């Protein structure tokens, strides 16, 4: 799904959002240079896989947080983890580097990717900022509505502390 198809999907699902357009950003440092309405609610997304390429995970945390993959592995009983390749990102989520977003999970028709969301996004005001499958904009939406959309799609989803 491209940006417009993603926004159309949110509209069809009755999910309200606010759209902020900006220059293309490829990492959190570049995003920090952008004037955002809710900079403390932006998300960082890590697309990782196990060492056998059998299990894939999208980890979404608040932008200022760091994720220790060894700790994550121990807490969730996974095999050793590493970042997935650009090819795997495109194949499974239909995304390119810099545009990783939970909305890409809607492209994963086989629901092979497991989604882990930082529970802090549920705290007031309960909003998350993510790319709409394109790194030239950020959509701000209610976290619970995003989780419900992804779960309706069939993606295994866990809300966890980071």
Average pLDDT, the chain: 95
Residue spans per domain, the chain: 3-160
Contact 143/122 with Cβ under 8 angstroms? yes
Section 62-90 average pLDDT:
95
Contact 87/47 with Cβ under 8 angstroms? no
- Let me know the angle formed at the C-alpha of 152 by 146 and 153, rounded to the nearest 5 degrees: 90
Dihedral sign from CA coordinates of 25, 26, 32, 38: positive
**pLDDT tens digits for 133-161?**
999 999 999 999 999 999 999 999 999 99
The hierarchical CATH code for the domain 3-160 is: 3.90.960.10
- Let me know the angle formed at the C-alpha of 20 by 17 and 22, rounded to the nearest 5 degrees: 155
**pLDDT tens digits for 98-138?**
899 999 999 999 999 999 999 999 999 999 999 999 999 99
Instruction: Give yes or no for residue 27 having a pLDDT over 90.
Output: no
**pLDDT tens digits for 35-60?**
888 888 999 999 999 999 999 999 99
CA distance 41 to 20: 13
Helices (H), the chain: 3-12, 28-32, 69-76, 86-93, 143-153
- What does the block give as tokens for 136? 């030239």
Contact 17/103 with Cβ under 8 angstroms? no
Contact 129/43 with Cβ under 8 angstroms? yes
Instruction: Give yes or no for residue 28 having a pLDDT over 90.
Output: no
Section 81-89 average pLDDT:
97
Residue with tokens 């996974």: 78
């Amino acid at each position: 799904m491209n940006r417009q198809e993603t926004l159309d999907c949110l509209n069809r699902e009755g999910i309200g959002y606010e759209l902020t357009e900006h220059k293309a950003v490829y990492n959190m440092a570049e995003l920090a240079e952008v004037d955002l309405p809710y900079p403390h609610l932006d998300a960082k997304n890590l697309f990782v896989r196990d060492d056998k390429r059998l299990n894939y995970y999208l980890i979404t945390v608040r932008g200022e947080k760091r994720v220790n993959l060894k700790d994550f592995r121990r807490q969730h009983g996974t095999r050793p983890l590493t970042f997935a390749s650009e090819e795997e990102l495109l194949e499974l989520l239909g995304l390119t580097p810099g545009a990783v977003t939970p909305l890409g999970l809607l492209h994963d028709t086989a629901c092979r990717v497991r989604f882990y969301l930082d529970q802090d996004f549920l705290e007031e005001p309960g909003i998350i900022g993510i790319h709409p499958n394109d790194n030239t904009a950020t959509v701000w939406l209610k976290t619970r509505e995003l989780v419900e959309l992804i779960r309706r799609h069939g993606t295994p989803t866990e809300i966890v502390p980071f």
